[in-house]
């Protein structure tokens, strides 16, 4: 019988997998085990004896954390990933799915992003330590497949949002930061300030869809190359701002602060490979995803990561 181990259990994706209430799954968070320690990792894998692993654990941060600690982000993530994959190999794990992210793609690349372009250039200088460490997951997967025949694969989701995200205003990704800012603007009866023009487009995917897809990948996707997970639907920051404002019932002033950077205008990703494998998968709409996320945020504030 199969036994799945999920690393990063207290993070956004690990939590979304937990919500699916599957049987025979063991969840490990950083409170249970420091994955940077190989011997402890091996010991726990020998104890749990997982047949399958979904590896979501990582040391992550916003631009601030990434810029201040490129060395630490590089080393910690390299250790976590090499330890998990090596312990999985040594304990005979049949299948392992690990998470990368579209933010590790080359800074100068052609859009839409495609799996085959992952290594074709330097990542953005603001997160190069993290990005290179994450890219090594793909290298280790392929090397282990070639030498040991391991069935280890990786997935590359676009902008994930949902419950259990990091809602830091300064360091959070755009949607959790916006949700937190609108909440405070309503509470304090002050204008809500959005960074930039609101025009840029992003592909937002709800965490529970990514959880479901990762389980499908675990059972069905056996290619050695990574697969991008996205609906392929782009929404502007402005659309998302109005959706969140409506859900939070914020009626105050919304200011788009154009002195703040917009960043890249678009970062579209190619979902041809996903569509080829799963032509009928229905991603939930941003309306539904934001509604669920804001409900969770309101029910759990102030005990959220922020």
What residue ranges bind ligand GDP (CB under 6 A)?
A: 159, 173-174, 177-178, 181, 194-196, 200, 202, 237, 260-263
Name the catalytic one among 27, 73, 111, 130.
130
Between CA 142 and CA 95 the distance in angstroms is 13
Which residue number, 126 or 224, has a Cβ lying nearer to ligand GDP? 126
Minimum CB–partner distance for residue 159 and ligand GDP (Å) = 5
Which residue number, 118 or 177, has a Cβ lying nearer to ligand GDP? 177
Minimum CB–partner distance for residue 103 and ligand GDP (Å) = 7
Residue 130 is among the residues annotated as catalytic for this protein: yes
Minimum CB–partner distance for residue 277 and ligand GDP (Å) = 26
Which residue number, 101 or 214, has a Cβ lying nearer to ligand GDP? 101
DSSP 211-243: HHHHHHHHHH---SS-EEE-----EEHHHHHHH
Which residue number, 38 or 256, has a Cβ lying nearer to ligand GDP? 256
Q: At what angle do helices 237-248 and 286-300 cross, to 10 degrees?
A: 50
Which bin fits 283, alpha (ψ -120 to 50), beta or left (φ > 0)? beta
DSSP 247-284: HHT--S-EEEETTS----S---B--HHHHHH-TT--PP
Specify whether the CB–CB gap between 167 and 179 falls below 8 A. Answer: yes
Active-site residue numbers? 130
């Amino acid at each position: 019988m199969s036994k799945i181990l999920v690393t990063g259990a207290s993070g956004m994706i690990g939590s979304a997998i937990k919500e699916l209430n599957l049987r025979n799954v063991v969840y490990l968070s950083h409170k249970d085990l420091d994955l940077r320690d190989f011997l402890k990792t091996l010991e726990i894998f020998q104890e749990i004896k997982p047949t399958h692993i979904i590896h979501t654990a990582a040391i992550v941060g916003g631009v601030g954390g990434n810029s201040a600690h490129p060395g630490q982000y590089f080393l910690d993530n390299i250790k976590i990933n090499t330890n998990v994959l090596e312990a999985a190999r040594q304990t005979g794990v049949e299948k392992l799915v690990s998470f990368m992210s579209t933010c590790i793609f080359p800074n100068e690349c052609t859009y839409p992003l495609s799996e085959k372009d992952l290594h074709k250039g330097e990542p953005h200088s603001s997160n190069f330590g993290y990005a290179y460490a994450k890219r090594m997951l793909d290298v280790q997967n392929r090397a282990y497949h070639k030498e040991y025949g391991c069935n280890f694969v990786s997935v590359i989701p676009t902008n994930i949002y949902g419950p259990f995200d990091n809602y830091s205003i300064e360091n959070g990704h755009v949607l959790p930061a916006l949700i937190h800012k609108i909440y405070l603007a309503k509470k304090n009866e002050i204008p809500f300030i959005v960074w930039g023009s609101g025009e840029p487009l992003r592909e937002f995917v709800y965490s529970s869809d990514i959880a479901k897809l990762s389980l499908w990948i675990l059972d069905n996707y056996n290619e050695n190359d990574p697969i991008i997970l996205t609906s392929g639907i782009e929404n502007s920051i402005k659309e998302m701002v109005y959706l969140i404002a409506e859900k939070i019932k914020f009626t105050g002033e919304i200011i788009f602060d154009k002195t703040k950077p917009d960043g890249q205008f678009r970062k579209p990703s190619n979902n041809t490979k996903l569509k080829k494998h799963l032509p009928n998968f229905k991603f939930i709409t941003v309306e539904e995803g934001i509604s669920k996320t804001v409900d969770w945020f309101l029910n759990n504030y102030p005990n959220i990561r922020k």
